[in-house]
Structure 1
Amino acid sequence: MNLFTSDEQQQIIQAIRSAELETSGEIRVHLELHCPTPDVIERAVQVFRQLSMDQTAQRNGVLFYLATEDHKFAVLGDEGINRVVPKDFWVTTKDIMRENFRAGRFTQGFCLGIERAGQQLRQYFPRLDNDSNELSDEISH
């Protein structure tokens, strides 16, 4: 899966780390070639659980999922973050990402989506003194 160069992968990982600096929230990016289910949201929920994102203390994980060959992607927030973000937040985030993806700017699309999620997480889930990084920042496959 060579959608991203190693430098681009590092840009995305750095965007995750920057977004998580001031929040207890957790952000992950998961890539795979094909979405094995007809519904991309169903697959994103499966991956969310496989990555233990539903196990964070405040239920404030956010998953960015992309099936590269199928041109399907989803942005999925856990119940804690979903309760507090504006109703259309995930849709508008996906719209910004989709615009960049269509223009071939996949790294920028991910970084912008991650930055937006981080802004919401910082607002509603500020970093606690005893906060630890509960989940890896690496891109999973």
Structure 2
Amino acid sequence: MSFPLFNKKPESVISDSEKEQIVNAIRTAESRTSGEIRVYIENRNKYVDPVDRAAEVFFKLKMDATRERNGVLLYVALKDRQLAIFGDEGIYNKTGREYWSGLVRHILGHFNKKDFAAGISEYVQQIGEGLHNFFPYDRETDHNELPDDIVFGS
């Protein structure tokens, strides 16, 4: 069975306005925290475990180079319908595994409706809220350490 939506490159599945919606969600979330959020979207995950792939992408994007080790990657494999979050040790040590697992379950509901941009945007906001609780924004010391754009894989 073939799904025409998923035969396209990942950046063409999401419209320009939806891309803008996601980037705006990242910027809004980061305006309340010193944490950094990135979104990585690809069609296929050649790995069995999406968390392993998210970890690989996280380090490839050098997200572990933030001052407070509080970067968070939202990883999405559209065709394989996989989702994972990988948080650096600074945020993961403060929130724990259950926090991230709950967010993943919630966003999958949006994906089942094929409302990817809304699901990603809402999830980014929730990640930002979690980051805000543990790493609030400080006007004196905070600066944007990582790009806010969406990274598209194959």
Partner of 1:5: 15
1:113 matched residue in structure 2: 123
Match of 2:57 among 34, 47, 50: 47
Amino acid at match of 2:88: D
SS of corresponding position for 1:88: helix
TM-score normalised to structure 2 length? 0.87
Identity %: 38
Q: Point out the more displaced range, 8-17 or 74-83.
A: 74-83
Q: Which stretches of structure 1, 4 residues or longer, exceed 3 Å deviation after superposition? A: none
- Show the counterpart of 1:61: 71
Answering whether residue 19 of structure 2 is matched by residue 19 of structure 1, we say: no
Taking structure 1 as the reference length, the TM-score comes to 0.95
Q: Is the 8 A contact 1:3 1:68 kept in 2?
A: no
Q: Distance in 1 between matches of 2:44 and 2:114?
A: 19
Q: Does the CA contact (< 8 Å) of 1:100 and 1:108 recur in 2?
A: yes
The unaligned stretches of length 5 or more in structure 2 are: 1-8
SS class of match (1:14) = helix
Paired residues, number: 141
Which structure would you say has the larger Rg? Answer: 2
Q: Tell me the distance in 1 between the aligned counterparts of 2:36 and 2:115.
A: 24
Q: Where do 5+ consecutive residues of structure 1 fail to align?
A: none
